[in-house]
Chain A
Amino acid sequence: MKRISIDPITRLEGHGKIEIFLDDAGEVANAYLQIPELRGFEKFCEGRLVEDLPQITERICGVCPEAHHMASVKAVDDVFHVDPPPTAKKLRELLYSAFYVFDHATHFYILSGPDFVMGPESDPAIRNVLGVIAKVPKVGLEVIKAREMGHEIVEIVGGRKIHPCGALPGGMSHGLNEEQRQHIEGMARSLLEFAKLTIKVFDDVVLANKAYVDLILNDSYVHRTYYMGLVDGNNKVNFYDGKVRVVDPEGKEFVKYAPREYLEHIAEHVEPWTYLKFPYLKKVGWKGLIDGRESGVYRATPLSRLNAADGMATPLAQAEYERMYSTLGGKPVHATLATHWARVIELLYAAERLLDLSLDPEITGPNYRIIPTATPDEGVGIVEAPRGTLTHHYVTDEYGVVKKANLIVGTTNNNAAISMSIKRAAQGLIRGGKEISEGLLNKIEMAFRAYDPCFGCATHSLSGQMPLEVKIYDSQGRVLRMLKRP
């Protein structure tokens, strides 16, 4: 048995590695995504004050702390049975929309963009964000500016650029004055232009190139699964609030549940070879790492959110939504690489929503907080993190000291699907006797890069590629070949 190790791939809550086993004929026998890290938040949150959890749990991820901050504070609102005033909810969603714009932009341009702008089999030395900047310099600067503006909005509303502190049960710690609102409005207008530019870049670079469209639709990147996403009262995509809707592989609604009902619908499976659990749909059941209607494996990604919803709540994003489905042959789309298209549509939605909220007369309102008065007990908060539905569930004593905490984190939702996608891409691309080139390995990486797994975020930050090492072993464990990148 030959073996290919991709180690480290880095960052989920940190690190990751991929092991691909070849059989004697050189065909892929199996592939494993291993997450070699655990930190134990579910345990050490016990004994903490529940109102501190929005600032403690965001230390799960410094790439998307805003998502944990929001899911956590919504859970704490629920623990205290408090409904924050409209201004507070709008401030939170404003912060969250700004976060989505720069987070999705980072992934599209810096992480996965190089694969398309430079080409999936281009020289790895230039297949990175610096290559992208050299090829389209104006866009590169726009990305840096968008990141800076997004972070600035997070700091104004949330108090800090990284690990915000502003959300607490009952609302936000401070409001917005008119001067700040105008400043944010100005940045929101720029970010909306940036989002439109991004759609155009996707058109020009990806959709205009038939080879890329063929790659997106290539069978090696297709899985028929259930799809999950948060929707508003009109079944439109929402990142901050609503109910979780799941559609089946035919696109029909399977279930729609409120945060407090999540345990009726989601369960997690444990495997001994990875520290990360495998969530699945409880009512379908765990059938292993397989797709299809009979398997409880679901996906929670930008594409999943679009598949699970009936549309987008803003006009420009809605038009793009319709264009994507008409181009790719209707709903649901099962092509994993179409996630990139869905991501730029979500980026456009987030920018439109950000501008709407910055123009909302209530956003500068004085009632950004109410003091909770009920006895704390138990609560669940759900938001859509960029990398999947994020669930926080706390149980406290009557003083609001945490007794139990349960967390189902964005990327974790996709643990099974990412493993399956790697195996399928490897099986489709690695063929007995065929040389295993760097470009081919990159195409395997593209299968999981589409999920924007959190273990990719930081790793990819500038280089746009995994620190990748491939060793091929013979059945006695001797290294036959070693491939290094670049």
Chain B
Amino acid sequence: MAKLKIAGYWASSCGGCEIATLEIGDKVLKLAEVADIVFWPALVDTKYHAVEQMADKSIDVCLFNGAIQTSDNEQLAKLLRAKSKALVAYGSCSYEGCIPGLANLTNRKDVFHRVYVETPSTDNPNSVFPQTKCQMPEGELSLPEFYDTVRTLAQTVEVDYFVPGCPPVGKQTWAVLEAIVQGNLPEPGSVVGAGTRALCEECPRTRQEKKIKAFYRPHQIIPDPDKCLLEQGLLCAGIATREGCGALCPRANMPCTGCYGPPAGVIDQGVKFLSAVASIIDSNDPNEIARIIESIRDPVGTFYRYSLPSSMLRRARIK
């Protein structure tokens, strides 16, 4: 049997997904027995133009991490789509937009102004900004374009599979790679490398009735280590988040922040989380309800921390 051809790439991301793939440890060697890594800047040395010269669909599986925030990111996404039989959005950035996707609350002009002019350490009296083309005495230098809007991989090209997590945990990555090697992948369009239910199902904390009079921020209370965090008034996203990590944050006495995205069947994680929160407020007094809700001072960062670009929220225009 011919060896599988596997590729990997990062776009706008932090590198954590690359480190996460290394978490499979010595299984890398097992993978090497059955698969050739044909392009993966973090692992092997193949150039872009070498990928351009490959025949279309000649890569069996490409694990693509990172969001689409620059023209470079978009080019590579299109190139790897064309060359790959199966394109996998690996990790929260390519799947949902993740933390870089919070940039959709702003735009290029405002980011540039903040970073290159307004920050108190910046000394830029002439308001110089990075340019896509810059004529230097020795020749022209170019930079990719920075986009106003961060997009997910699936908003850029067709995607076959999604692996959630910021980053995906090692055992899940290995499970996905095994499925690839054994030809065991499910229907295209599926989420792989995670369960289907809410994180609560794998959380060891005991659950009772959820009735909330006040919400707390993590630094404001020391929660009981054994009881459901949401029941203690902490905005734990587990109820609206896909299982798969093993409930790492709740085990560390911190609320889940939602990095594994929505459970199966849920289109918009923020809506799910918000409706869950609304349903546990223990009051019928509109004023009291308003007061309780008002204590949630960053709704976007709380409900959509990892999923803003893939959510139903769309800005109508850019100022």
Give the residue among B46, B105, B119, B169 with the most A Cβ atoms within 10 A.
B119
How far in angstroms is the closest Cβ of chain A from B199?
14
How far in angstroms is the closest Cβ of chain B from A61?
5
**Residues of B close to A270: CB separation below 8 A:** 116, 122, 124, 128-130
Q: Mark B14-44, 1 if CB is under 8 A from A, else 0.
A: 1111111011011010000000000001111
Q: How far is the CA of A3 from the CA of B141 in the complex (A)?
A: 11
Which of B80-88, B175-183, B205-213, B215-223 makes up part of the contact surface? B215-223
How far in angstroms is the closest Cβ of chain A from B76?
10
Known A-B contacts A19-B141, A169-B219, A268-B121; the reply to A30 vs B136 at CB < 8 A is yes
Interface on chain A toward B: helix, strand, loop, or mixed SS?
loop
Which of B56-64, B94-102, B154-162, B309-317 makes up part of the contact surface? B94-102
**Residues of A close to B110: CB separation below 8 A:** 43
Q: How far is the CA of A239 from the CA of B301 in the complex (A)?
A: 30
Q: How far is the CA of A169 from the CA of B302 in the complex (A)?
A: 18
16 A-B pairs with CB atoms under 8 Å apart are A1-B139, A30-B137, A32-B141, A36-B70, A37-B12, A37-B72, A40-B115, A44-B105, A52-B305, A62-B17, A159-B251, A163-B166, A165-B252, A166-B252, A273-B131, A462-B43
A185 interfacial contact with B, CB 8 Å = no
How far in angstroms is the closest Cβ of chain A from B257?
6
Interface residues of A in 105-162 (CB under 8 A from B): 124, 144, 148, 151, 155, 158-162
Interface size on B, residues (CB 8 A): 83
Which of A9-17, A301-309, A442-450 makes up part of the contact surface? A9-17
Q: How far is the CA of A396 from the CA of B99 in the complex (A)?
A: 20
Interface residues of A in 434-463 (CB under 8 A from B): 454, 457-459, 461-463
Contact B248 A159 (CB under 8 A): yes
Interface residues of B in 142-197 (CB under 8 A from A): 143-144, 146, 166-167, 169-170
Contact A399 B297 (CB under 8 A): yes
Contact A49 B253 (CB under 8 A): no
**Residues of B close to A406: CB separation below 8 A:** 119-121
Q: A459-B42, A462-B44 are in contact. List 18 more A-B contacts (CB 8 A).
A: A10-B42, A38-B130, A40-B114, A43-B106, A44-B105, A47-B105, A49-B302, A56-B102, A148-B25, A173-B254, A271-B130, A272-B129, A273-B136, A457-B15, A458-B41, A461-B19, A462-B28, A465-B45
Contact A49 B217 (CB under 8 A): yes
Interface residues of A in 460-480 (CB under 8 A from B): 461-463, 465-469
B271 interfacial contact with A, CB 8 Å = no
A34 interfacial contact with B, CB 8 Å = yes
Q: How far is the CA of A365 from the CA of B248 in the complex (A)?
A: 23
For A275, give its contact among B43, B146, B218, B254 (CB under 8 Å): B146
A289 interfacial contact with B, CB 8 Å = no
Known A-B contacts A1-B139, A263-B121; the reply to A48 vs B298 at CB < 8 A is yes
How far in angstroms is the closest Cβ of chain A from B227?
14
Interface residues of B in 282-319 (CB under 8 A from A): 297-298, 300-302, 305
How far in angstroms is the closest Cβ of chain A from B132?
10
Known A-B contacts A39-B69, A144-B26, A270-B129; the reply to A14 vs B13 at CB < 8 A is yes
Contact B124 A52 (CB under 8 A): no
Q: How far is the CA of A485 from the CA of B297 in the complex (A)?
A: 52
How far in angstroms is the closest Cβ of chain B from A300?
14
Q: How far is the CA of A272 from the CA of B136 in the complex (A)?
A: 10
Contact A458 B15 (CB under 8 A): yes
Q: How far is the CA of A468 from the CA of B114 in the complex (A)?
A: 33
> Who on chain B is nearest to A157 by CB?
B252
**Residues of B close to A400: CB separation below 8 A:** 217, 297
Question: How many A residues are at the interface, by size bracket?
Answer: 35 or more
A277 interfacial contact with B, CB 8 Å = yes
Give the residue among B45, B106, B170, B254 with the most A Cβ atoms within 10 A.
B45
**Residues of A close to B44: CB separation below 8 A:** 462-463
How far in angstroms is the closest Cβ of chain A from B109?
10
Known A-B contacts A43-B115, A56-B305; the reply to A173 vs B128 at CB < 8 A is no
Q: How far is the CA of A277 from the CA of B43 in the complex (A)?
A: 29
Interface residues of B in 65-93 (CB under 8 A from A): 66, 69-70, 72
B10 interfacial contact with A, CB 8 Å = yes
**Residues of A close to B225: CB separation below 8 A:** 174
A484 interfacial contact with B, CB 8 Å = yes
Contact B252 A174 (CB under 8 A): yes
Contact A279 B121 (CB under 8 A): yes
Q: How far is the CA of A30 from the CA of B19 in the complex (A)?
A: 34
**Residues of B close to A47: CB separation below 8 A:** 105, 298, 300-301
Give the residue among B12, B131, B219, B222 with the most A Cβ atoms within 10 A.
B219
